[in-house]
Structures are given as structure tokens and as C-alpha cells.
Amino acid sequence: MKSLFGQSNTFLRNDEIVKKQFMRFLIPSVASTIALSLNQFADSIIVAQLLGSSAMSVVNLGVPIMMAFAVVYMLFGTGGSVLYANYLGKMEKKKAGGVFSFTLLSAFVFSALVAFVGIVFNESLSSILCSDESLLADFSSYAKILFVSTIPIIVIQVVINFLPAAGSPKLATFINLLANVTNLVFDYVFIHFGGMDVTGAAWATFVGYIVGFLFLMLWILLKKCRIPLEVFTLDTVKSIKQIVGGGISAAMVQLGFAVKFSYCNIVAGKIAGVVGITAFAGGMQTISIVSVIMAGIASAIVPLIAVMNAQRDYAGIRFLTARVLKLQFVVNMALALLFLFFPTIITTMYNINDPDAYDMTITAVRIFTVMFVVRGFVQIALFSNLALGRKVYSFVISTFDGFVGIVPLVYVLSKLLGIDGLWIAYPACAVLIVIGIYAYNLIARRHLDYKASLFLLLPKEGFKGDILDISLRWDIGKASEVSKLVYEYCGKYGIDSQKSNLLAIACEEIFVYTLNHSGENRVNMDIRITLGKGVVEVYVKSVGVPFDHVSADQEQYGNIWMIKKISTDFKYDYLLGLNQTVIKLATQKL
């Protein structure tokens, strides 16, 4: 084997562990967003089939209300979970638990406020959201019942935002699936068997989330769910700015969707009446279907990037975002081609039979498909920057993606091109945002004091200070190579032989301990060592069942115990499906 600092690439960092982490989160995340979205587009399908396209339009007009709920649970759920994951990355579990408790209480208070406003001012809100007099009475009744569901929807979704970072992504998926499948079943029961009108769909939403809430309570009582509750302190209360600041970008996506959705409904109604509203509903349902995949992929990376960013693992973030960008491109391109060539999928699903509405919907769907691949990129950029703690940057992206970009474009293009201008505004807005992201990054990169990647402005080769960043997949016979690599690294940066040897052998023993407890003959492990001002930091990550290096047997793993004794910090935790150990040593103690 050639020296690590020579020509060999054998031990260069790879994305094997990052890939396993991502795949562990991806499927539950996509499944969870699919389940959540069932409340919107599957509701519309059932209502359309049972009550007709006019009733479907009523459900579609209620989307801004559901988006208002989403504003609250994304504000608190996303912002709180990012801060929670950041504390986990630093292995400060009590602070993380306090953030969860405080976030949940805050979300409950705000959800109660939203419910009060919605019920008391229902008629005024309904007249604003519905521009067609023939639909107003039905919509007002439907909207009032939706507001009854405010508290269970928001509280459940806030908890679901935390569960992946708490190590339970599958539970988050199951609760969403249970709530929304229950909703669909009761859609049919209330409307078909109960003879209810469109309000039956709103009551079904309420029942679905009550069932989801009861299941979560049962799971907690049976101690099958580890909810990270801790008594929060005054310092936690002061973190409300961080929580809101971290969640405002994701909330703006939902708020922007509600604003632009309501505005575009009004524009469509003024230009083409009920036909325009129906066509816009069909086009937006196409976007909703594809957005399920976009949102699932984007939300899967948030806890992973937040934890890696807390540990300054920029190589891992680069690996993850590169893989995610490729995935979203392939998936969204396939979906775009599907709806481009087979737009009648939408007209059939939503029972759009009126000839004028049918033709207009086909046109809308085909034009909307142009935006899918581009907007997938926008979503990854938004959520990646959010997880990296770039609150202002992600806020600007979310605001333009929400309504600042689309509303002026719709106004201008619909004046110039009529109803087709409304459809064209959506892909045009996505393209302009991508151009803006790259233009800003090109300018910002010139002012950085390190070589940065263009997409997220991450350091290409570590960060200030020096770094050893390697990936291992070895058997026990090659364990000594670990100590050799660490010893070379320490020697290169001036740490004397005796002290370098102690750290090198300790890392070897951690590798051996990991291998012996992994249940496999070979093990995937990442070791990253950074040398900063006055401190050496060692991060060890491995895939497998939980096992604690900190509790290693003193006689068998003496060098681990020696490092524990002289370190300023030695922590272990099982985070996001990985065994993670952090060792920090003051250089003068080495």
C-alpha cells in the first residue's frame, strides 16, 4: 500500500455510508409525503368520482387552508427538527429533547389560534378564497369543518417532522399513512353510504388525524416509540428565534403555495369561469403528484445534512447532494415525459368530461410538465441550504418559489397571453430561480477564502485547518492499516511519535471494537480527523446495530480507555442509523 499522502486512492473518502443513510431515510420520506398528499389529490379523485367535477373544484379551493396548516407545522416542525438534529450532531441530547418539548407546545398554541380564527371568520375567509358564487355556499360549509381539524393535523405533523431525526423514520411514515388512508376510507363511507355532500370529505380528514393521534399515544404508552421529551429551560424558550428562523423557509413554501394557488384560482375564474378553475385544478393536481416525489427526496436529506454540518463533514454533504440531484433528475424527467405524452391520466382521474374544460386541462398539464425537472433542483437547493443553517438564502429561494416570483409573472403573462399565460408562468418562474441561484453563487464564490463547489458553496477540500478523511471496508486482518494512516497524518502535522502512536492505536482499537460488535466479517466505517487551533477532533461513523465504544472493556481495549482519560470530550451515540463516536483532545495533552 502506498502512503495515504502519496498516490494511492484506496482509502479516499467514499459515499458508501452516506448512501446507506440516505436510502434508509428516502423510502420512508417519500412514502410519508405520498401518504400526506393523499389528503389532497386522492380526496379530489374520490369526490370527483362520487360528486362530480364541481365538488372536486370545492375541495381544490380548500387547498390554501390545508397550506395554512402546513405553514404552521413546517415553521415549527422543520425549524425545530433542524435545531434538534444540530444538537444531536453535537451529541447534546438534553438540549435536543428540550427543543422538541418546547416546539410541540408552541405548535399546539398556534394551531389553536388558527382554528379559532378560521371558525369565527369562516364566511369572510370563504368569500376571499372562492370567487365563483355558484360554489361559495358549498365551499363555506366545507372550509368550516376543515378548521375543526386544525389542532390534530398540526400537532401530528410537527411530531412527524421530528421522528426521522429521532431515529424513527418508519414510524413517521406509518402515522401519515394511517391518518390519510383512514381519511380516504371515511371519504367513501360518509359520501357514498352516508349520503353527505362535499363536507363528508372534510369530516373524513378530521377522523383520519384523530386516528393517527390515538395510534401515536398508544405507541408511546406501549413504550415502542422513543419521543425525545425533556423539560425545557429559559434558554430553550430563547431559541424560538432559531426555531422560527430555521423553519421560515419551509413555511414560506407552503404559504407561497397558498397565496399563489388562491391568486391563480381567481385569475383562472375571471378569464374562463368554472372551466378555468377546473382546468387549473387539474394542472395543479399534476404538480401535486410530482411534488410528492420532489418533497420526499428533499425532506429526506434535511436531518442528514443538519447532523453532518454540525460535525463539519462537508465531504459527506457533497456526496449526498450529488446523489440526490441525480436521483431527482431521473425521476422527475420520467414523470414529466409521462404526463407530457399521457395528459389524459389527469382528466380521467378527476372526471373532467366537459369538452372545454377537458381541452384546457390537457394544455395546462402539458405546459406544467416543463417545470418538473427544474423545480426539483430548486427544492434540493432550498432544503440543503436550510439544513446548512443559511436562513436568509433559503428564505429568499422559498419566497420566490412561493409567490414573489409567480404572482407578477401570472399577472403579466395572463394579460399578454390569456389563460395560457397562467400555465406558462409556472415553468418560467422555476427557470428564473435556477438562473438566480447560479448567478448568486458565482458572485459569492469569488469572495470566499477557500475553493468552493458551485452548487452549495461548500469547501472542496475540507475547511480551514487540516483533515484526514477516509472510508474503510476491511476485515480484521487489515486493522493495523488504520493505525498506520492515523500515525502518518499526525506525524505530517508535527505531533511527536509517542503521542501520535497513542491516538493511532486508539483508532485501531475503535475499528476492532466496531468490527467485533457489528455481527459481520467486514465493516463500513468513516474516520475523519481534523487538526484545528489547539484541538484534535476524531469522528468515527459505522453502519450496524448500536454498540458503545465508550463502554469498551478496559483490559481488552486499553488504548481507548487511555484516550478517554486524556480527552476533553469523548461521546458515543446512535444517530440516524449510525454508530457515531466523537473524541476531542487538546493538542497540549497529546
Helix, strand, coil percent content, the chain, rounded in steps of 5: 75, 10, 20
The parent domain of residue 101 ranges over 16-445
Distances (CA, A) of 300 to 179, 250, 409, 587: 20, 14, 31, 37
Q: Specify whether the CB–CB gap between 391 and 450 falls below 8 A.
A: no
Residues 6+ apart with CB under 8 A from 275: 354, 356, 357, 360
Do the domain assignments include residue 255?
Answer: yes
Distances (CA, A) of 499 to 295, 314, 440, 505: 48, 28, 46, 10
User: Which of the given ranges, 94-108, 466-480, 561-575, has the highest pLDDT on average?
Assistant: 94-108
Q: What is the mean pLDDT of residues 166-189?
A: 84
Cell 370567487 locates to: 131
- Same domain for 429 and 476: no
Instruction: Judge whether residue 421 has pLDDT over 90.
Output: yes
Instruction: Judge whether residue 249 has pLDDT over 70.
Output: yes
- Same domain for 404 and 507: no
User: Which of the given ranges, 305-309, 432-436, 499-503, 505-509, has the highest pLDDT on average?
Assistant: 432-436
Position with higher pLDDT, 314 vs 34? 314
- Same domain for 405 and 536: no
Do the domain assignments include residue 3?
Answer: no
- Same domain for 359 and 497: no
- Same domain for 470 and 441: no
Do the domain assignments include residue 452?
Answer: no
DSSP code for 371? G
C-beta atoms surrounding 288 within 10 Å: 17
Instruction: Judge whether residue 6 has pLDDT over 60.
Output: no
For residues 305 and 456, give the distance between their C-alpha atoms in angstroms, rounded to a whole number.
12
DSSP per position, 229-257: -----HHHHHTHHHHHHHHHHHHHHHHHH
Q: Which of 25-34, 71-80, 366-375 has the lowest mean pLDDT?
A: 25-34
Comparing C-alpha atoms, which of 255, 253, 237 is closest to residue 295? 253
Position with higher pLDDT, 120 vs 549? 120
Strand order in the sheet with 535-543: 466-474, 523-531, 535-543, 578-586, 569-575
Do the domain assignments include residue 454?
Answer: no
- Same domain for 432 and 353: yes
- Same domain for 363 and 285: yes
Read off the amino acid at residue 461: E
Q: What is the mean pLDDT of residues 181-198?
A: 86
Read off the amino acid at residue 551: S
Do the domain assignments include residue 397?
Answer: yes
For residues 317 and 9, give the distance between their C-alpha atoms in angstroms, rounded to a whole number.
20
Q: Which grid cell sits at 381?
A: 437547493
Cell 424527467 locates to: 333
- Same domain for 215 and 186: yes
Domains in the chain, number: 2
Which of 385, 414, 445 lies at the terminal end of a domain, its last residue?
A: 445
For residues 537 and 346, give the distance between their C-alpha atoms in angstroms, rounded to a whole number.
55
Cell 435545531 locates to: 83
Do the domain assignments include residue 539?
Answer: yes
Residue % of the chain over a pLDDT of 90? 10
- Same domain for 116 and 35: yes
Question: Is residue 392 within a helix (H) or strand (E), and if so which, with residue range?
Answer: helix 391-399
Tell me the CATH number at 504: 3.30.565.10
pLDDT tens column, 515-548: 777 666 566 778 888 776 777 788 888 876 777 7
pLDDT tens column, 104-129: 888 899 899 989 998 888 888 888 87
For residues 538 and 479, give the distance between their C-alpha atoms in angstroms, rounded to a whole number.
17
* DSSP 3-state of 194: coil
Q: Which pLDDT score is estimated for 474? A: 59
For residues 522 and 91, give the distance between their C-alpha atoms in angstroms, rounded to a whole number.
27
Q: Which pLDDT score is estimated for 125? A: 85
Residue 242 backbone dihedrals phi, psi, to 5 degrees: -70, -40
Please compute Rg for the chain using Cα positions: 26
Which of 387, 411, 445 lies at the terminal end of a domain, its last residue?
A: 445
pLDDT tens column, 468-484: 777 766 556 666 777 78
Instruction: Judge whether residue 580 has pLDDT over 70.
Output: yes
Which of 445, 480, 499 lies at the terminal end of a domain, its last residue?
A: 445
Q: Which grid cell sits at 402?
A: 412561493
Q: What is the mean pLDDT of residues 273-294?
A: 83
- Same domain for 557 and 486: yes
Q: Which pLDDT score is estimated for 7? A: 33
Q: Which pLDDT score is estimated for 367? A: 92
Give CA torsion, residues 150, 56, 32, 87, to 10 deg. Answer: -40
Give CA torsion, residues 46, 52, 55, 61, to 10 deg. Answer: 80
Do the domain assignments include residue 461?
Answer: no
Q: How many residues does the chain have?
A: 590
Q: Specify whether the CB–CB gap between 223 and 190 falls below 8 A.
A: no
Instruction: Judge whether residue 221 has pLDDT over 50.
Output: yes
pLDDT band at residue 428 using 50, 70 and 90 as cut-offs: very high
Angle in degrees, CA 208, 212, 216, rounded to 5: 170
Q: Specify whether the CB–CB gap between 147 and 115 falls below 8 A.
A: yes
For residues 371 and 5, give the distance between their C-alpha atoms in angstroms, rounded to a whole number.
45
SS (H, E, C) 395-434: HHHHHHHHHHCHHHHHHHHHHHHCHHHHHHHHHHHHHHHH
Do the domain assignments include residue 453?
Answer: no
Q: Specify whether the CB–CB gap between 434 and 426 falls below 8 A.
A: no
Q: Specify whether the CB–CB gap between 331 and 337 falls below 8 A.
A: no
- Same domain for 203 and 342: yes
Position with higher pLDDT, 496 vs 379? 379
Position with higher pLDDT, 245 vs 264? 264
Q: Which pLDDT score is estimated for 216? A: 83
pTM of the model: 0.74
- Same domain for 401 and 318: yes
pLDDT tens column, 28-77: 777 777 766 666 666 777 777 777 767 777 887 787 788 788 888 888 88
Comparing C-alpha atoms, which of 115, 474, 456 is closest to residue 316? 456
Read off the amino acid at residue 302: V
Cell 382528466 locates to: 347
